Chains A and B, each alone.
Chain A
Amino acid sequence: MSERIFGAFLLLLSVGGIFVGWDLKAPISYEPVGPRAFPLLVFSLLGVCALGLILTRREATEWAPSPVLLRVGAMFLTVLAYALLFDKLGFVISTALMSVPLARFFGGTWRQAMLAGTGLGVLLFLFFDRLLDVVLPVGYWLKPLLG
């Protein structure tokens, strides 16, 4: 069932892609195949495959039991929040904040989670930013303090 839903989603995507791609035209063209052909080819093949997914029978996908799925979803949201705040809070704080729930999901105690969070935040910052010269955000809150 889930593959059929996914197939329907892909079908919508390919129709949308063809719809958007139809208007792609080069203002001045000096080659027989313009910028439109390849995307349209890809999207129409995708549409055919999506129909295939909808119409054929296959073994049902085994989803994890719902409590596990809920945790996976929560983890996804945590990482998404991490991505959003990475720049704003700075690497150290955002990493510490992200690590605590992740460590808890993987069976760490609160104490271990706090430890992992602060440890990873500080050590990875020192390792990348100071040792390897990979520039990491310090965050808006620290910038004025550092001048």
Chain B
Amino acid sequence: MEILSHLLDGFAVAGTPTNLLICLIGAFLGTIIGMLPGLGPINGVAILLPIAYAMRLPPESALILLAAVYSGCEFGGRISAILINVPGDAGAVMTTLDGYPMAKNGLAGPALSISAVASFTGAIVATVGIVAFAPLLANWALAFGPAEYFALMVLALSCLGGLVGDSLLKAMVGVLIGLMIACVGIDANSGVYRFTFDLLHLSDGIPFIVVVIGLFAVSELMLMLQSHHGSTTPVEVTGRTMFNMQEFMLAKWTILRSSVVGFFVGVLPGAGASIASAMTYSMERRMAGKDHCFGEGDVRGVAAPEAANNASAYGSLIPMLTLGVPGSGTTAVMIGALTLYNITPGPTLFQDQPGIVWGLIASLAICSVMLVLMNIPLVKLFVKFLQIPNWVLVPGVAAVSMVGVYAVHGTTFDLIVGTLLGGFGYLLRVMNFPMAPFILGFVLGDMMEQNLRRALSISNGELNILFSSPISIGLWVAAIAMLVGPRLAKAIEMRRQRPAVI
């Protein structure tokens, strides 16, 4: 009952005319950002965050805007996946496998509409999941002391190391560089200037927005130039725009199953939309038995990844809201948004700022309804945005990114640091260093250090306190399992497959 009343309060926050408008604008912008290849949720959220801040939006509205953009991106990624065979964002990679063949067969309309419904179902299932599980988890996490928190953050980082990218070493380098950048600035406990080299601008540390925009917007534009091959023409949307009953019946259980699986994968730190969609796609393919045409335009092949990626995108908000520990790059940026407003993310958020948390949750539901209503009839309008030529788009994104960085402090210094980080990010990305560990390390750096020091202050310097409570031992074991587990599983799989090959 208590949850219900909180939820109603949340709808009251999200339902004010301003917030509804913000939700609508965010959803619309998000769909476009998600659709444009190259720009994904993380760039979108990173570019819009400083602008929301500079517009002096209250924190709940800013978070609603970011969440709307985030879910809009997950909706938008599928449009370019289906129509031009290029995933608009990482979660839509699997959608190209069946979406593009469907569009080639003249079924672009049904592919787009069934995937919109799948995305919507995923979003709603995940919203229900958040309402059901998030308060419980937050309550449980209230018992965490600094030692448990430190172990939890190690777990979050090692999940990324285990799951993201091909190389553990590269993920670790990313985390460490992020932690290193987080060390710059005044130490909050002692007032000592660390690594500021007597530069006044560095005394507050490198602002979060500068790092994020440099790494994700500037370097992205450089990557876009690297892979620029002129323009691609989308497949024309002709014929019926709605799926028929038969297609729906074929896909309905797929959609539900994928939503549930996607949600739980999303809750795990580190495992994001791309893993969820890949997992459900292969799961559905296996379950379909012989009677399928996966890879050649099966409705289920479009429905499964789309349901999963939306559900997991929402699911990844759970660790962020309840523990204050982001599980993905995009939620890391949203944590940054909270800290920009001087709100400490963590389990106390549910008690201290119920308006923000429940407003955000309610807006997720409102947003998904808006998105599905927008996406089915307006798809032809959205396709128009795919035809924006890069010679307008790229300078535009560069200018808007700079506006975002400038909005924080209004100094040339920040703009230059952002650009330099962009160049650095480009080199890292070309060398296949995953970026999510980097940004997570940067966001968690300060919290990790504070909790470590607090824990050691309690124990008067004894390291044992880090491994003393059952919760922290469990978290350490889980962290090691996340690092070793996936590699072990892969090695066993390889060994099992080898005799079959020979």
Closest to B188 in A: A35
Instruction: Tell me if A38 and B452 are in contact (CB < 8 A).
Output: yes
The answer for the CA separation of A80 and B214 in the assembled complex, in Å, is: 11
On chain B, the residues within 8 Å of A31 by CB distance are 189, 453, 456-457
B7: Cβ under 8 A from any A Cβ: no
Q: Range of interface residues on chain A?
A: 35 or more
The answer for the CA separation of A55 and B392 in the assembled complex, in Å, is: 44
Within the complex, the shortest CB–CB distance from A135 to chain B, in Å, comes to 7
The answer for the CA separation of A105 and B449 in the assembled complex, in Å, is: 44
Dominant SS among interface residues on chain A: helix
Contact among A53, A61, A107, A124 with B399 in the assembled complex (CB-CB below 8 Å):
A124
The answer for the CA separation of A63 and B225 in the assembled complex, in Å, is: 13
The answer for the CA separation of A84 and B55 in the assembled complex, in Å, is: 24
Instruction: Tell me if A17 and B169 are in contact (CB < 8 A).
Output: no
Closest to B226 in A: A64
Instruction: Tell me if A38 and B453 are in contact (CB < 8 A).
Output: yes
Instruction: Tell me if A34 and B195 are in contact (CB < 8 A).
Output: no
The answer for the CA separation of A69 and B227 in the assembled complex, in Å, is: 11
Closest to A109 in B: B391
Given A33-B457, A42-B183: A108 in contact with B194 (beta carbons within 8 A): no
Given A83-B412, A107-B391: A72 in contact with B194 (beta carbons within 8 A): no
B172: Cβ under 8 A from any A Cβ: yes
On chain B, the residues within 8 Å of A75 by CB distance are 221-222, 225
Which residues of chain A (71-112) have a CB below 8 Å from chain B? 71-72, 75-76, 79-80, 82-84, 86-88, 91, 95, 98-99, 102-108, 112
Instruction: Tell me if B189 and A20 are in contact (CB < 8 A).
Output: no
Instruction: Tell me if A106 and B391 are in contact (CB < 8 A).
Output: yes
Dominant SS among interface residues on chain B: helix
On chain B, the residues within 8 Å of A91 by CB distance are 399, 403
On chain A, the residues within 8 Å of B224 by CB distance are 106
B396: Cβ under 8 A from any A Cβ: yes
Instruction: Tell me if A120 and B392 are in contact (CB < 8 A).
Output: yes
A140: Cβ under 8 A from any B Cβ: no
Instruction: Tell me if A83 and B415 are in contact (CB < 8 A).
Output: yes
Closest to B416 in A: A83
Given A80-B416, A86-B402, A86-B412: A38 in contact with B449 (beta carbons within 8 A): yes
B228: Cβ under 8 A from any A Cβ: yes
- Other than the given A107-B230, A120-B396, 9 more pairs (CB < 8 A) read A10-B173, A24-B187, A38-B452, A53-B173, A61-B432, A106-B391, A132-B55, A133-B55, A137-B406
Q: B: which residues have CB within 8 A of A?
A: 51, 54-56, 167, 169, 172-173, 176-177, 179-180, 183, 187, 189-192, 194-195, 218, 221-222, 224-226, 228, 230-231, 389-396, 398-400, 402-403, 406-407, 410-412, 415-416, 418-420, 422-423, 426-427, 430-432, 448-449, 452-453, 456-457, 460-461
